[in-house]
A and B are shown apart, each in its own frame.
Chain A
């Protein structure tokens, strides 16, 4: 397991790569040897979840569901719980949060260019989008042939929570998990202070870091300043409306939410983005701390 570590004041910082980006674990009150063991524990958990949810690894649970060609697939308990969560998010967001919408990426290439897909191309994909078309009866899922699910929209945040919960049980003091900007702290610093973390601000195209302060719980950001299309002065962000197949209009560049868990924060941030112009109004009703960048 490739993890690296360094002492940073009274903290130990462990670094590894997973979930398509840099990950960092901050630990209090550990000597170097035990800190590295804890970082390895968190890294192993993160990679285990990444593996399971990967659409590309042919031994992962999600791959098995997508490759079944219309046949029912019985899933393990953890995947089943995530599918239950995906179903709840779909219902709670009025159909906006949809783990079947990833297939629309076949039509859209958010590479900063100006190539919009043809309306026909998008329309042809729409029959393959919609959680309501999925037969999900715990623990068995049946996707109509040609449809795919992508749990990537939950996976990174879920992994941050799982890794943090492992550390909460195993570490001698407080710990912070940062999986590419999705954060979960097990407890405030032992002196009661907040954790200070530098995360790349996805709302800014110069990749500047922003310093975030959090005491405990989860913090997640939705949005990516580099994944968009610009055509005729209109910016098309990468979040797609599963009903139209087109980017949500008027969405903020990025939304950051603080919630008791990283998973809740991530879902709220994504659903806020999917509300487009109403992102702030949606967040105002949720009673959580949040920041929108437009």
Chain B
């Protein structure tokens, strides 16, 4: 990894120089695309799941195009900073980005004006459903035990965590409660700085359960400190085949997930977008991508440009509904 990184540094310097010298490109260059290094913006920090996904795709895209692809982390602001950087870049195909489920959430929360419509969708490549995790020695053996206990207790007695207030896993909890006919405040949400601290708090006995994704809960599950009771997905995860879906375990048909896909700024020229989607498709089918994703426990899904656009619209509506139910939506 260090070798790639050093090369990318040199390349990004070159890219800055290049973009300064050749500010404009004739339109006919679309066929030759790409002729210089591509910048791939990741709105989340180095070392996280989104960064890892961006980097493996970046490496494979580099092989595909023979041009350097530099992953640049523009973090902070709950993802607003990076998503803004992608959408406000010049739509010339030399600045792309990985966009995540938060783009369908943060405009509802009033953090930004950006919506999925401000991008040129290229491909959806990953989705991870939330799981329901309890402490290893918890008395709840199945998700039905837990659900019954939640129903029988006064609102707010049960505490759950997994991410910040109004984050994707909070909405997953609200959606699950709604599907069971319960109000969103039946379980109190304890905001945390991501899934790892929430899992640690679970192991320490500070909260009752978490609703983060299984890959995020994996380290604690493997260490024998936590158990996963169910996942909110249409089918079981390949990496955790023993964990049932909500529908199997208690007959509640509720599914959601955190997704990651690739996009460019709005108004990307059609030939470039088509070429990128085709290359991403090749990467999606490659052995390297699938091996990497399964090693991290990440789920793989595919949607091409138009499918991804429709998927984002659906996700946007679902998130808006859950956020309104949770009382977090401002718009």
A and B form one complex = no
Residues of A bordering B, CB below 8 Å? none
Residues of B bordering A, CB below 8 Å? none
